[in-house]
Chains A and B, each alone.
Chain A
Amino acid sequence: MADMKVYFDHNATTPLHPEVKKEMIASMEMFGNPSSMHAFGREARANVEHARQQVADFIGAKEQEIVFVGSGSEANNTVLSLFVCASSQCSPCSKRNTIITTKIEHPCVLETAECLVHRGATVKYLDVDRYGKIDLDQLASLLNDNVGLVSVMMANNEIGTIQDIATITRMVHENGAYMHTDAVQAVGKLPVDVRTLGVDFLTMSAHKIYGPKGVGALFVKQGIPYCPLIRGGHQEHGRRAGTENTLGILGLAKAVEMRAIEMPAEEERLLHLKQVLQQGIESSIDHISINGHPTDSLTGTLNVSFEGVEGESILLYLDLEGIAVSTGSACASGSLDPSHVLLATGVDAEFAHGSIRFSMGRDTTLQEVEYLLDVLPRTIQKIRNMSTAYIKGGLHAASR
């Protein structure tokens, strides 16, 4: 059937960078436990610490501010969980047990926050505007002496909208609270410097930037109270128990090293591809709308709602043609609810059901975008042909 295999799902995960792969293969034999004092252990330790330096440099942090973790999800769970510990000894703000976050965070933040409510925390969710930007006035009105942590994602995985983290952090700090940003979709795609941002905690994950899966890093500003989520070992200076994922950590370090080299030139190229894609869709398919911010958005991410069609069927028809995309709606994952992100931006439920995220990366070519633009219009047409949304003289006449 389809010979062409094209990948427009880089926000879900990315292929390993060839250099990362090379690095990891070369390190396969390095099996020592970094905690061991003998030569095998020392070799592994040296490599892990070198990797830590690289990751720290990449985001403008100090080496000792980087904690290697098992995923972006773990890093986010760790930070949120810090703020409900009842013990005043290890909890950063045992008296400030309100957490402010947003309605468009990744589920690993939202579900942790929900769970913390059962453990005594108060959680407030910031609204976003139609482009996915949080409302700074609302933030100001919610900040008070009870707020211990504010967690706002830097770039949204579904619609790509980028928040002004530096400004948000200033407001949060003036109020005496701590600031966390989930930068899983931002690091390696746009310049991220923890000092410029001013944040106290920052989450990153390797597999979104051509590194391996199952490894991430948490930036914890020096001097900030901290307490591990995973206990039972002195690894990571007692901040995360468990023998280090040495190969993964080296892969992450190589990935950021390659990002530092490739990212600057990639930005413009991806922006161009996104424009080609967006204009191509706009000129060939009617009844669509573009989700996300027109300018403050990830260059590789384009989220589009197609009226009258349901997202999963678009995804699967494109899959049959060798094109990989992702739905905004979570129907495919077993829930009938349309994307919480799109609903938060005020997109109508029906439009949200028909949304598709195209996410491009370093390996995406113009030729692939053109192939997509060739297949997409007839796919949408095919689905609309069999859709009830267009029955009887115009859109929705039948359902209204």
Chain B
Amino acid sequence: MLQAGEWAYSETLKEHFMNPKNILQGENTDDFDGVGMEGNLQCGDQMMVVIKVDKEKDIITDCQWKTYGCASAIASTSVLSEMVKGRTIEAAFNISPKEVAQELGGLPDNKIHCSVLGDKALRAAINNYYTRTGQEDKVKQEQVKIVCQCMNITDHDIEDAVLEGARTYLELQERTKCGTVCGQCKEESEALLEKYKHIHFGA
């Protein structure tokens, strides 16, 4: 329950919104090793992530950003920029929107979509770094596939849900909220549900 005077968002989110960390100052990105941008202004969300990489150790030493978007979008890019510093490129690449949301102390359901773009932009920046440094072979396509755009549910989330016990589409919906908005993802998520049931439980 929301208390009077309380925000609809967690304290962590509020803190990152009030005092965002690692905002890219100015427009110049020349000092950075990778630049990624996702989203567009028409949809109301756009994020740019820039990274510096320690090329010996493959570690991200700096991560800055710009975001056009709501409070959740701003806070999630801010928290993401803190999370990736010091991580290996590999580890950074695998950060999921879920982890970002957890780090923020949770996001309201209708705001989950706002946090997706940040890690997408991060992966774009990493791929950009690989391209620039002649490591095209390492450029990775999105490893996870977003199945439900509305709730930002990936094939991995569906697999997790199956592993955690979801056996029917309804149970999957209850666990992940997949398909609870526009419903256009139903067919694909049902197919994945069957696939993972088969893989993991031979069902």
Contacts and interface: CB of A to CB of B under 8 A. Distances in A.
B46 A386 contact: no
A106 B157 CA distance: 38
A31 B20 CA distance: 54
Contact of B68 (A310, A332, A393): A310
A387 B68 contact: yes
B44 A336 contact: yes
B27 interface: yes
Contacts of B20: 386
Of the candidates A309, A335, A348, A350, the one having the most CB atoms from chain B within 10 angstroms of its own CB is: A350
B120 interface: no
A288 interface: no
Contact of B42 (A350, A386, A391): A350
Contacts of B46: 388-389, 399
Given A313-B74, A332-B70, A386 B27 contact: no
B27 A353 contact: no
Interface residues on B, range: 20 to 34
Nearest to A336: B44
Q: Majority SS of interface residues in chain A?
A: loop
B189 interface: no
Given A310-B70, A313-B74, A393 B27 contact: yes
Interface in B9-63: 17-18, 20, 23-25, 27, 37, 40-48
B66 interface: yes
B141 interface: no
A316 interface: yes
Interface in A356-400: 385-393, 396, 398-399
A388 B43 contact: no
Contact of B44 (A329, A386, A390, A399): A329
Interface residues of A, number: 30
A335 B27 CA distance: 31
A105 B70 CA distance: 25
A316 B15 CA distance: 12
B185 interface: no
Of the candidates A309, A349, A386, A389, the one having the most CB atoms from chain B within 10 angstroms of its own CB is: A386
B68 A338 contact: no
A320 interface: yes
A190 interface: no
Contact of B69 (A313, A320, A334, A385): A313
A258 interface: no
Contacts of B44: 310, 329, 331, 336, 338, 349-350, 353
9 contacts: A308-B68, A310-B69, A313-B74, A320-B18, A335-B110, A336-B43, A353-B44, A386-B20, A393-B27
Interface of B: 17-18, 20, 23-25, 27, 37, 40-48, 65-71, 73-74, 110, 113
